[in-house]
Amino acid sequence: MHKYPEEILKKFWGFSNFRGSQKKVIDAVLNQQDVLALMPTGGGKSLCFQVPALAQDGLCIVVSPLIALIHDQISNLKQRGIKAMALTGGIPFDELITLLDNCLYGGYKFVYLSPERLQQEMVQDKIRQMNVNLIAIDEAHCISQWGHDFRPAYLECAKLRELLPETPIIALTATATNRVATDIIDNLVFNEPLIVKDSFSRPNIAFGVITCEDKHYRLKQRFEKSDQSGIVYVRTRRMTQDIARFLNSNGCKADFFHGGIAKKEKQEKLKLWLTDQVQVMVATNAFGMGVDKPNVRTVVHFQIPDCLENYYQEAGRAGRDGSPAKAVLLTNNFDVAQMRQQFLGALPDAAFLKKVYNKLNNYFQISIGESTDEIFQFPFKDFIAAYRLNSFLTYNALRVLDQYSVIALSESFFKKIEIQFIVSQNSIFDYLDKNSGSAPMIQTILRTYGGIFDFETKIDPSLIARKTKVSEKRIFDLLKKLKKDEIIDYKSKKTDLEITFLVPRDDERTINVFAKQVEERNQIKVAKVDQMLGYLHTDTVCRSKQILSYFGEKKVQACGICDVCRKRHQKKAVDFQSISSEILAILRKKSRTSRVLIKILDHSEAHILKTIQRMLEDGQIKVNTMNEYEIR
């Protein structure tokens, strides 16, 4: 055991000093004090519970809402030689018992829980027996109905106070208004907590909103002048691919990233981006959580986010090294209408939630009162086609059911494999004699899955690969050969959603329990959309000032570097004559489009366009058939 936090920081993370309020928070935790830590994205929140947990005997329980984030943090800890495990949904009962026993006797330092696990009596009983030195509630804004990502299951976190009344709790978040912070303290029953609020200010990031009709051109323009690292956020998987393709065709090395990509491919893409072999990652909004890349110089939002909390968290992934960075939001009138339709026109009400829940149970043939721990691979497109449902409204309904712990919804890439042996057992013996090299793999399949001669059976190729100590590719090659040799029927379906039913089926009562809260949450979402659009349309107040005021920071100084501040500092008297002379000098050599003139001239776009308009009106220049300007 290491006594001093600085020792631990140096040994496991290689840093010599703590940043911001990290040391203050760590000291409070080691003094057994409850802490609410409000720190900006990139502020090093995880170290605030990881270091003090390592400085003491016992283990730390970490509650986190995102399975992907849990696995990222566990992977990070294991790489540093620190024992950590996850207790998330979908773990079979027998395996869960083994894991809980490992928590008690296996020398683990960190146990990550999804909040739903706290509802299980068996888990609660085991927690009472554990030597827990700290409880960490990550993404703590999820506990507040006023937060942008309220998850009712997070209210179960208060049970940890009942189970371990003497153990300090640290709650951490990067996005909390004053109202949300108060909710966190009340719900977790904090006792004289230390409240640490580092300023959310990111003075090195120049925020900007660009209203334009041709967003693709503006995006290309943003990255073609530089080879520095960037992220482009979009809302759909298809658009990640479309935008990445567009950037690559315009000389910018880009890749795409979303929840439907296989785990191994995600790791490969992430590695290329982290090592700067890929300049720009085009991604959906979950990308970047738990990823530490300090040299991101530009974050572009190609579409409008649903709330300021999400926008600021995503934009804050730029400039973590403290060097100048930019956060740009591209928009136009069509975007605003689309955003309202997407986020407000697709808010599921209680009646629609009941409909989707009913159809889900029917789809997976779950009867009234039935409870199941099975993880179902969920072909979303087939589901909405079968019941003629609106895809976006249905997906939002699934997310609500996930938030209220009716189901656990996770996005991962899987191949669903089903096989059935269609020959007699005697024929199998003959086949094994003739194909002795494949015999161990075939025998393992037969021993692992009963009834495989009688009906189609779902198998796990990775499990067979581990048991036989061969690669997954060899297992897939074997299955293809067995099908070709007419030994098995073999079906393979791709799916990127998983569903676990967390409560017994009860169509009416299940939704009625939280129907009123859903309607209230819908109203909060309407307000958050209005606040996001207010940020877009307010071009008289510093961008940073707008955001920080939203999070309750007072007496905020103008940043001086955002688009609003730069516009204010520009000289009021513009020398249009000088710009006109420069344009004429260029056009004497060759006709040019306005885009080329904007790129060449060292003046603001607005002033160049205004000068061009004046020159057209004065008859100095004209537009040719190629939409280029030339001298009359």
Find the mean pLDDT for residues 510-537.
90
| Percent of the chain topping pLDDT 70 | 96
291 belongs to a structural domain: yes
587 belongs to a structural domain: yes
Of 179, 197, 215, which residue is a domain's last?
197
Task: Categorize the per-residue pLDDT at 570 as very low, low, confident or very high, splitting at 50, 70 and 90.
Answer: low
Angle at 382 between CA 377 and CA 383, to 5 degrees: 75
Q: What is the pLDDT of residue 1?
A: 46
Residue 334 and residue 476 share a domain: no
Find the mean pLDDT for residues 122-126.
89
Number of domains comprising the chain: 5
Q: What is the pLDDT of residue 2?
A: 47
Query: Which strands, in side-by-side order, build the sheet including 35-38?
Result: 84-87, 110-113, 59-63, 132-137, 169-173, 35-38, 194-197
Find the mean pLDDT for residues 344-365.
91
- In the block, tokens 């096989």 appear at 419
571 belongs to a structural domain: no
CATH number, domain of 585, equals: 1.10.10.10
pLDDT, mean over the chain: 87
Residue 435 and residue 361 share a domain: no
Quick one: which H or E segment has residue 207?
A: strand 205-211
* Distance of alpha carbon 181 from alpha carbon 177, whole angstroms: 6
Of 187-196, 335-344, 501-510, least confident by mean pLDDT is 335-344
List for the chain the helix, strand, coil content (%; round to 5): 50, 15, 35
Kindly tell me if the per-residue pLDDT of 347 is higher than 90.
no
Q: How many CB atoms lie within 10 A of CB 104?
A: 13
CATH number, domain of 351, equals: 1.10.10
Tell me the per-residue pLDDT of 394-432, one tens digit each, with 9 for 90 and over. Answer: 988 998 898 888 998 876 655 668 888 998 888 888 898
Of 139, 163, 197, which residue is a domain's last?
197
Tell me the per-residue pLDDT of 51-78, one tens digit each, with 9 for 90 and over. Answer: 999 999 999 999 988 776 787 788 889 8
Q: What is the pLDDT of residue 219?
A: 93
Residues of 551-568 as b/e, b for ≥16 C-beta within 10 angstroms? bebeebeebebbbbbeee
Measured CA distances, 129 to 5, 56, 59, 123, 156 (Å)? 27, 17, 12, 10, 19
Residue 230 and residue 175 share a domain: no
Residue 144 and residue 12 share a domain: yes
CATH number, domain of 333, equals: 3.40.50.300
Kindly tell me if the per-residue pLDDT of 548 is higher than 80.
yes
Kindly tell me if the per-residue pLDDT of 313 is higher than 50.
yes
Kindly tell me if the per-residue pLDDT of 572 is higher than 60.
no
Cβ atoms of 357 and 514 closer than 8 Å:
no
Instruction: Spell out the SS3 assignment of 89-154.
Output: CCCCHHHHHHHHHHHHHCCCCEEEECHHHHHCHHHHHHHHHCCEEEEEECCHHHHCCCCCCCCHHH
Q: What are phi and psi of 362, to 5 degrees?
A: -65, -40
* Distance of alpha carbon 13 from alpha carbon 22, whole angstroms: 14
Of 138, 169, 197, which residue is a domain's last?
197
515 belongs to a structural domain: yes
Kindly tell me if the per-residue pLDDT of 542 is higher than 90.
yes
Which DSSP letter does residue 164 get?
-
Residue 88 and residue 67 share a domain: yes
* Distance of alpha carbon 500 from alpha carbon 92, whole angstroms: 12
Kindly tell me if the per-residue pLDDT of 457 is higher than 50.
yes
Q: Which of 218, 223, 335, 210 is nearest to 278 (CA)?
A: 223
Residue 313 and residue 217 share a domain: yes
Residue 230 and residue 294 share a domain: yes
- In the block, tokens 């409240």 appear at 195
491 belongs to a structural domain: no
Cβ atoms of 507 and 421 closer than 8 Å:
no
* Distance of alpha carbon 520 from alpha carbon 404, whole angstroms: 14
Q: Regarding predicted confidence, which is higher, 176 or 354?
A: 354
533 belongs to a structural domain: no
Residue 214 and residue 133 share a domain: no
Residue 267 and residue 402 share a domain: no
Query: Quick one: CA torsion of 108, 110, 112, 118, rounded to 10 degrees?
Result: 80
Cβ atoms of 494 and 258 closer than 8 Å:
no
* Distance of alpha carbon 487 from alpha carbon 73, whole angstroms: 44
Angle at 285 between CA 326 and CA 153, to 5 degrees: 130
DSSP-assigned beta bridge partners for residue 169: 135
Kindly tell me if the per-residue pLDDT of 381 is higher than 90.
no
* Distance of alpha carbon 388 from alpha carbon 365, whole angstroms: 18
* Distance of alpha carbon 626 from alpha carbon 607, whole angstroms: 23
* Distance of alpha carbon 109 from alpha carbon 86, whole angstroms: 12
Residue 326 and residue 225 share a domain: yes
532 belongs to a structural domain: no
- What is the DSSP annotation of 320-362? TTSS-EEEEEEE-HHHHHHHHHHHHTT---HHHHHHHHHHHHH
Q: What is the pLDDT of residue 413?
A: 58
618 belongs to a structural domain: yes
Residue 405 and residue 277 share a domain: no
Residue 517 and residue 383 share a domain: yes
Q: Which of 115, 75, 448, 126 is nearest to 290 (CA)?
A: 75
Which token pair is 521? Answer: 């949450």
Q: Regarding predicted confidence, which is higher, 180 or 264?
A: 180
CA 161 distance to own-chain centroid: 29
Task: Residue 272: give the domain boundaries.
Answer: 205-341+538-565
Measured CA distances, 523 to 345, 347, 401, 526, 534 (Å)? 12, 10, 18, 5, 17
Kindly tell me if the per-residue pLDDT of 390 is higher than 70.
yes
Q: What are phi and psi of 443, to 5 degrees?
A: -65, -35
Q: Which of 614, 589, 609, 613 is nearest to 597 (CA)?
A: 609
